Amino acid sequence: MNLQIQELATGPAPTASLIVLHGLGADGSDFVPFCRELDFSGVPGLGADGGLRFVLPSAPVMPVSLNGGHEMPAWYDILPVPHSDAPSAPRREDEASLRRAQGWIDSLVQREIDRGIPSERIVLMGFSQGCAMTLMAGLRNPHRLAGLIALSGYLPLLDTTAAERH
């Protein structure tokens, strides 16, 4: 999968990367205003002498089962619990689409490493469905990352996290 990716940088030679994952139905451009508001001018290595690269991928458009199969940008499918229309009912997780998205995010991290950014200077950040993927992929990534920023989400595949964490 070739994800559409927008990038912004705070300087000419980025020394760190922030990969930002949007929520269900949104796209990478949703966080452009947020990224532009952050001021790293006084931070050594992230100001004018280096830079921070914002990587803003857009999830592919796919049918989302919970939304009646309506197609929208989504990192993974959300399955309703059989025989329940209650909004508060627990959800079944679509492991196949979660694992596929984990692979995309692992590839984004590797792409930054290949571009010269040490993994210890890469942060994953996500909102809502992007938060879920940040936690899932970030905790399982084979590289030591600088951090995870989780905004309004949960940890998918919780039962396998302890065995798969890195």
Specify whether the CB–CB gap between 134 and 126 falls below 8 A: yes
pLDDT band at 80; cut points 50, 70, 90: confident
pTM of the shown model: 0.91
Residue 57 belongs to domain spanning: 4-164
Number of domains in the chain: 1
User: pLDDT tens-digit profile of 18-44?
Assistant: 999 999 999 999 999 999 998 887 777
* H helix count then E strand count, the chain: 4, 9
Specify whether the CB–CB gap between 140 and 148 falls below 8 A: no
Q: Lowest-confidence range among 27-31, 81-85, 96-100, 114-118?
A: 81-85
Q: CATH number of the domain that 133 lies in? A: 3.40.50.1820
User: What distances in angstroms separate CA 66 from CA 75, 78, 85, 87, one per listed residue?
Assistant: 14, 6, 9, 10
What is the structure's pLDDT at 86?
Answer: 61
